[in-house]
Chains A and B, each alone.
Chain A
Amino acid sequence: MSKLINSIEEAIRVTGLKDGMTISFHHHLRNGDYVLNMVVDAIAKAGIKDITINASSIHEVHAPLVDHIKSGVVTGLECNYMGAAVGKEISRGIMKKPVIFRTHGGRPSDIMTGKSHIDVAFIAAPTSDDMGNCTGKIGKSACGSLGYAFSDAEKADKVVVITDNLVPYPLTDFSIPEIYVDYVVSVDKIGDPKGIVSGTTKITRDPVGLKIARYAVECIQASGLLKDGFSFQTGAGGASLAAAAYLKDIMVRDNIKGSYVMGGITGYMVDMLNAGCFEAILDVQCFDLKAVESIRTNPKHREVSGSQYASPTAKSCAVDGLDVVILGATEIDMDFNVNVHTDSNGYIMGGSGGHSDTAAGAKMAMIVAPLVRARVPIVTKKVQCITTPGSTIDVLVTQRGIAVNPARQDLIEKFKAAKLPVVTIEELYDKAMEIVGNYQPVELGDRVVAEVVYRDGTVIDRIRQVIE
């Protein structure tokens, strides 16, 4: 027996895909992904309409979706993150049904509990055998972890693995086992390696970013959390990585043995593991070649599912054990609510990803951001969109001072004792307004173009149309 079929067209036929169904994708091939476009093009050619796409993320490479939305092939979109190419068009109101935004933990939670039903999951796999045992660790399109695809594989009615490196059965080092897979399709290329992983992720050289990173690390030291057993997550933004580099120097110098590090994994996290700063990497997503190499060769670098990473309905998940997470923001308001969904003009250009999951789980959730970014103030009276509630954000670090959530008097005392430049968020707001001058807030339309579903399933905010 073999599950191998000839083409994506055949997969659409044999899975019984028809009008009104929901299909799913993972985003481990990031901006190099060919699979989503190939599948949706084939669906359009087959004359199927009214499809809902449930993808862990939509990237710039998925811009052809815009035409499929306009033509009625795709009428529903659910994701945890959406890049500007599709996001801008959604904000202009091209789709009737609002986009459903979830988090990296909320999505697998809803899939595993049956709240989100998937008819057919299409799983891009850098290597697979003909029965569907597959992995992202090897192959010309290697992407490392396949963590976000696990729930789709387990729960979708039909599962199609699409690979460009078919190997003889059995592939032993599989991530997703054959027991979930219905069909396997072999294609020339599932993606462009240049878009899948970056060669190197670079630390910022901007003095403002470095100052913010230094403050962030001083906050971590002052918090008392930096000791043996320390667990940590940081994003791949310039200032976040610079903070990780400073942190590594301190952990090596003071011989601090951390427990685990998580998140989108870069070479910097791998360096910290190899330097003995941490016992393990829990990896739901690789960002660069060094991370892919490490997950393939180092048993301490463990692939985890989206559920194990962050699902609020799993029996336990790793975000709940985090000591510190460093996150970004496009806006943060007087109540510490954070927006990473929309840009300064109100256009969709992002999403929570694991933002709100890690903020909820970590003992100290930190936002690092410059006070003003190209004349746009980071601190506002009220964010355009609440991605992550302020009740889960503890600290905002800017180059002009550190604001601590008033609910965390313990941190305020510790930071002041450490002589850190603690200010109120109102003071940061006033300072930002003074720098940018004459700021006029953007008015948005009434029509809802997206709903933001918090990790507990409640709609935490609605994103409105941009009127041009």
Chain B
Amino acid sequence: MNIIRNAIAGTMESSDLIVTVTPGSGLTIDIQSPVKRQFGDSIRRSAEEIAQDLGVTDAVISIEDHGALDCTIRARIETALLRASKEE
């Protein structure tokens, strides 16, 4: 799947996250989170898995997490990637 435009999914609420996806070469994952020490590795793994499942190899995925659970993180990343792969 090709990332052809910028897209966003999520909110700024506590226990949610905002995912911003932009086109790029190679896969870059940037994570900001108040619980990065406890869950940074887990968030990165989830992002990599979703990208792999969707066949995304080139994108910048920026995650601004506010303590979301893993299911929420996966859903937001998937949505942002799908939005970024479609023409307006």
- Chain A residues proximal to chain B, CB less than 8 Å: 344-345, 373-376, 435-442
B24 contacts partner chain A, Cβ-Cβ < 8 Å: no
Quick one: given A374-B66, A375-B68, A437-B69, are A344 and B14 in contact (CB under 8 Å)?
no
B27 contacts partner chain A, Cβ-Cβ < 8 Å: no
* Chain B residues, Cβ within 8 Å of A375: 15, 35, 38-39, 67-69
Residue-wise, chain B 45-88 has the 8 Å CB interface mask toward A (1 for contact) of 00000000000000000000011111000000000000000000
Q: How far is the CB of A275 from chain B (nearest CB, A)?
A: 34
* Chain B residues, Cβ within 8 Å of A436: 39, 69
* Chain A residues, Cβ within 8 Å of B39: 375, 436, 438-440
Q: How far is the CB of B44 from chain A (nearest CB, A)?
A: 11
Contact between A376 and B42, CB atoms less than 8 A apart: no
Q: How far is the CB of A401 from chain B (nearest CB, A)?
A: 19
Contact between B41 and A374, CB atoms less than 8 A apart: no
Tell me the complex Cα distance, A442–B15, Å: 20
* Chain B residues, Cβ within 8 Å of A435: 69
Tell me the complex Cα distance, A67–B48, Å: 42
Tell me the complex Cα distance, A435–B37, Å: 18
Contact between B38 and A441, CB atoms less than 8 A apart: yes
The residue on A at minimum CB distance from B71 is A437
Tell me the complex Cα distance, A376–B41, Å: 15
* Chain A residues, Cβ within 8 Å of B70: 437-438
Main secondary structure of the interface of B (DSSP, over half): loop
Q: How far is the CB of A65 from chain B (nearest CB, A)?
A: 24
Quick one: given A374-B14, A374-B15, A438-B42, are A345 and B37 in contact (CB under 8 Å)?
yes
- In order of increasing CB-CB distance, the 9 nearest A-B pairs are A374-B67, A438-B42, A375-B67, A442-B37, A374-B14, A437-B70, A440-B38, A374-B15, A375-B35
Quick one: given A435-B69, A437-B70, are A374 and B38 in contact (CB under 8 Å)?
no
For this complex, 30 residue pairs linking A to B, each with C-beta atoms less than 8 Å apart, are A344-B34, A344-B35, A344-B38, A345-B35, A345-B37, A374-B14, A374-B34, A374-B35, A374-B66, A375-B15, A375-B35, A375-B38, A375-B39, A375-B69, A376-B38, A435-B69, A436-B39, A436-B69, A437-B42, A437-B69, A437-B70, A438-B39, A438-B70, A439-B38, A439-B39, A440-B38, A440-B39, A441-B38, A442-B37, A442-B38
Tell me the complex Cα distance, A344–B35, Å: 8
* Chain A residues, Cβ within 8 Å of B69: 375, 435-437
Residue-wise, chain B 21-47 has the 8 Å CB interface mask toward A (1 for contact) of 000000000000011011101100000
Number of interface residues of B (CB under 8 A): 14
The residue on B at minimum CB distance from A436 is B69
* Chain A residues, Cβ within 8 Å of B35: 344-345, 374-376
The residue on A at minimum CB distance from B73 is A375
* Chain B residues, Cβ within 8 Å of A376: 35, 38, 67
Q: How far is the CB of B71 from chain A (nearest CB, A)?
A: 9
Tell me the complex Cα distance, A412–B18, Å: 43
* Chain B residues, Cβ within 8 Å of A441: 38
Q: How far is the CB of A303 from chain B (nearest CB, A)?
A: 37
Q: How far is the CB of B61 from chain A (nearest CB, A)?
A: 19
Tell me the complex Cα distance, A85–B42, Å: 29
Q: How far is the CB of A209 from chain B (nearest CB, A)?
A: 13
Q: How far is the CB of B33 from chain A (nearest CB, A)?
A: 9
Tell me the complex Cα distance, A373–B39, Å: 14
Q: How far is the CB of A206 from chain B (nearest CB, A)?
A: 10
Q: How far is the CB of A88 from chain B (nearest CB, A)?
A: 12
- Interface-central residue, A375, A441, A442, by most chain B CB under 10 Å: A375
* Chain B residues, Cβ within 8 Å of A442: 37-38
* Chain A residues, Cβ within 8 Å of B67: 373-376
* Chain A residues, Cβ within 8 Å of B37: 345, 440, 442
* Chain B residues, Cβ within 8 Å of A344: 34-35, 38
The residue on A at minimum CB distance from B14 is A374
The residue on B at minimum CB distance from A442 is B37
The residue on A at minimum CB distance from B40 is A440
Taking A375-B35, A438-B42 as given, write out 20 further A-B residue pairs in contact, using a Cβ cutoff of 8 Å, ordered by the A residue number: A344-B34, A344-B35, A345-B34, A345-B37, A373-B67, A374-B34, A374-B66, A375-B68, A376-B38, A435-B69, A436-B69, A437-B69, A437-B70, A438-B39, A438-B41, A438-B70, A439-B38, A439-B39, A440-B39, A441-B38
* Chain B residues, Cβ within 8 Å of A438: 39, 41-42, 70
* Chain A residues, Cβ within 8 Å of B38: 344, 375-376, 439-442
* Chain A residues, Cβ within 8 Å of B14: 374
Q: How far is the CB of A187 from chain B (nearest CB, A)?
A: 38
Q: How far is the CB of B1 from chain A (nearest CB, A)?
A: 26
- Interface-central residue, B38, B66, B67, B70, by most chain A CB under 10 Å: B38
Tell me the complex Cα distance, A442–B41, Å: 13
* Chain A residues, Cβ within 8 Å of B15: 374-375
* Chain A residues, Cβ within 8 Å of B42: 437-438
